[in-house]
Amino acid sequence: MTQQARAPEVAIVAAMARDRVIGLGDRLPWELPEDLHLFKQLTIGATVIMGRKTYQSIGRPLPGRQNIILSRSLSGLPSVTVCNSFTAGLEAASRFGRAVFILGGAELYRKALPLASVLHISWVKESFRGDVYFPEFDLADWAEVEEQDYADFHYVKYLRRSTDKSHRL
């Protein structure tokens, strides 16, 4: 008897300004070393799913993590699993048996938000110009369960308040 892979719990990790800016072109609009350190702490040992543009902006697989890249054009990348859809990426992630973190970009966040049970948000304190935005979402659907203040951002971990209702954006 074979055991079916269970759908993994999906967590989103993002840094954003209060107006939901997450990017400028193909990069982050800020340099926040403390946020990068927190990001590493959260995701080390886990499976990370990211879009092609996010992967290309990083420039390499993230060490110590199972990397899944969503792309219809990339193939044969060393040390990563390439999937051609969000659904295929989640299926691959379920086989690894690790925590799953969605890293972006904006379109991937939009697809993942209705399925996510956890948000790890670094609220950047300064305003930054940008052209890429985190999708709109209702903070009333989320309960703050952890927070920590840093010099340049405020980290909040949110849990979805209810998993039995449909979340439409």
pLDDT tens, 113-126? 999 999 999 999 99
For residues 137 and 114, is the Cβ–Cβ distance under 8 A?
A: no
Q: What is the pLDDT of residues 61-74, one digit of tens each?
A: 999 999 999 999 88
The radius of gyration of the chain from alpha carbons, rounded to an integer in Å, stands at 16
Closest to 46 (Cα-Cα) out of 62, 27, 30? 62
Strands 118-124 and 153-160: antiparallel
* Amino acid at position 150, single letter: Y
pTM of the model: 0.90
Residue type at 4 in one-letter notation: Q
Q: Are strands 21-23 and 132-133 parallel, antiparallel or unpaired?
A: antiparallel
Rounded-to-integer distance, Cα 8 and Cα 131, Å: 31
Q: Taking the CB of residue 152, how many other CB atoms lie within 10 A of it?
A: 15
Q: What is the per-residue pLDDT across 77-86, written as a single tens digit (0 to 9) for each?
A: 889 999 999 9
Phi, psi for 117 (deg, rounded to 5): -110, -15
CATH 3.40.50.1980 fits 10-160, yes or no: no
pLDDT at 168: 39
